[in-house]
Amino acid sequence: MKISVIGCGYLGAVHAACMAELGHNVVGVDIDAEKIARLAAGNPPFFEPGLPELLTSAMSTGRLAFSSDIAAVSGSRVHFLAVGTPQQRGSNAADLTYVDAAVAALLPHLAPGDLVVGKSTVPVGTATRLAVSIAATGARLAWNPEFLREGFAVKDTVSPDRLVYGVETGDAASVALLDEVYAAALAAGTPKVVTDFATAELVKVAANAFLATKISFINAMAEVAEVTGADVTQLADAIGYDTRIGRRFLNAGLGFGGGCLPKDIRAFMARAEELGAGDALNFLVEVDAINQRRRERMVDLTLEVCNGDVRGKRIAVLGLAFKPDSDDVRDSPALDVAARLAELGANVVATDPEAIETSRRIRPQLDYVATAEEAANGAGAVLVLTEWAQFRALDPEAFGLLVAERTILDGRNCLDPAQWRSAGWTYRALGRP
Ligand code: UDX
């Protein structure tokens, strides 16, 4: 099938490449010509494992092309909208500028019978509004939220947990077209939910709200553990054995960040408020607050091990990305903590396997080095703020030879305390004695 993907960020670029790999003819369109040039060269402007290889292999089949001209979508039957919906400045609400601009640019190129498929995370009610102008061209709209995780984007796109189609009542033609697009996943038994626009839009934000709540729940338990001497990691293991609870997304630590969870829960609250259902989501205010408090706690813990004063103290920060296997530092707890310590006068020396360039763009004042070893050289304290495999695998003995003081703060509960303590380190963590 001929498919266009409008918006080639983390979501759109991966979607375009995966659809081409599945046998469709795909054109990815973005207003950012530099991004398009890099994608066309198989060199994406962001880090996503497996994506460069996938781009190269899909382009070699001739089924994948990129363009910065929206006219390139002409002739496609299905047009995916994959543009960003960031948080508005000065408000919790989502900024729909890019969605509205993409639809306006697309309208003149739509042909009767085309299907526009919204993938972006939008406030409930957006699809109903957009469907009016799309219907005037003879095309139709469906909402098909995307649940991919950064770092696993290729796998999540090719083998999703579920497919959700939001369509207008009785729109069997759109369902049939989407079934054709996703034939491979459906044949592999992927569950499919066909529903209305509002439910499809809500599924996405409800899922992210649930995940954020699960993380903040365990981080709230970490706060209680900290004042009782309990160990939140053992607590998580123990409650996680209950299959109704489950162990996944119960890792206590610095909390959630990234381009999705934080802004999605805030936009969800803002939208519910507009709809008169704000009370229903009041708990998300707490979820957000618990999440922010973890960063403060990490700064306090650092001050504590530095006898209340970090001024002029060399502090090694290992990890800047919001999670491992990503170069994304949007709302990253790690980068936030590093910046706060620098503001307190610490000599922060930070490293990350992939996120130094992205960090430098928004926090140019920090000192960045290429490796954990360089960061640790002469450090008075080491902070592990993103649980990259290479940091988890550090040898406490060898690493201890580099630092001025053997003090390590594990912001992600990703190290073995016994191993570090037996090598003479003072080991401190969030939610653990
Ligand atoms: C998330 C959703 O998982 C995905 O389904 C949606 O499509 C987009 O938002 P992503 O932002 O890629 O995906 O990251 P995710 O793996 O969900 O992690 C989010 C944040 O939560 C990270 O900062 C991570 O470190 C943190 N986290 C995750 C925890 O603090 N504890 C956990 O147990 C799990």
- Do 12 and 29 form a contact (C-beta atoms < 8 A)? no
pLDDT at 59: 95
Closest C-alpha to 337, from 392, 304, 398, 292 = 292
Active-site residue flag, 260: yes
How many angstroms separate the alpha carbon of residue 224 from the centre of ligand 1? 23
323-348 residue pLDDT tens: 999 999 999 999 999 999 999 999 99
Out of 210, 237, 256, give the residue to mutate to test ligand 1, the one with the largest number of ligand atoms within 8 Å of its CB: 256
Tens of pLDDT along 390-401? 999 999 999 999
pLDDT in tens, 262-318: 999 999 999 999 999 999 999 999 999 999 999 999 999 999 999 999 999 999 999
Residue-wise pLDDT for 344-380, tens only, equals 999 999 999 999 999 999 999 999 999 999 999 999 9
What rounded mean pLDDT belongs to the chain? 97
DSSP 86: P
Catalytic member of 18, 260, 306, 414:
260
What's the pLDDT tens digit per position in 161-218? 999 999 999 999 999 999 999 999 999 999 999 999 999 999 999 999 999 999 999 9
Taking only Cα atoms into account, the Rg of the chain, rounded to an integer number of angstroms, comes to 23
Instruction: Output the CA 200–ligand 1 centroid distance in Å.
Output: 20
- Cα of 157 vs centre of ligand 1, distance in Å, is 16
Residue 227 confidence class, pLDDT cut points 50, 70, 90 = very high
Contact between residue 93 and residue 271 where contact means Cβ atoms under 8 Å apart:
yes
pLDDT, residue 292, reads 98
Most ligand 1 atoms within 8 A of CB, residue of 149, 162, 387 to mutate: 149
What mean pLDDT is predicted for residues 89-110? Answer: 97
What is the pLDDT at residue 262? 97
Tens of pLDDT, residue by residue over 19-53, are 999 999 999 999 999 999 999 999 999 999 999 99
Q: What is the predicted pLDDT for the residue at 275?
A: 98
The pLDDT of residue 307: 97
Give percent of the chain with pLDDT exceeding 70.
Answer: 100
Note whether 94 and 263 are within 8 A (CB): yes
Tell me the pLDDT band of 421, cut-offs 50, 70 and 90: very high
The average pLDDT across 407-416 equals 98
For the stretch 15-25, pLDDT in tens is 999 999 999 99
Q: Which domains occur in the chain, in start order? A: 2-195 (3.40.50.720), 205-288 (1.10.1040.10), 294-429 (3.40.50.720)
Cβ pair 359, 368 in contact under 8 A = yes
Can you tell me the distance from the alpha carbon of 150 to that of 141, in angstroms, rounded to the nearest whole number? 26
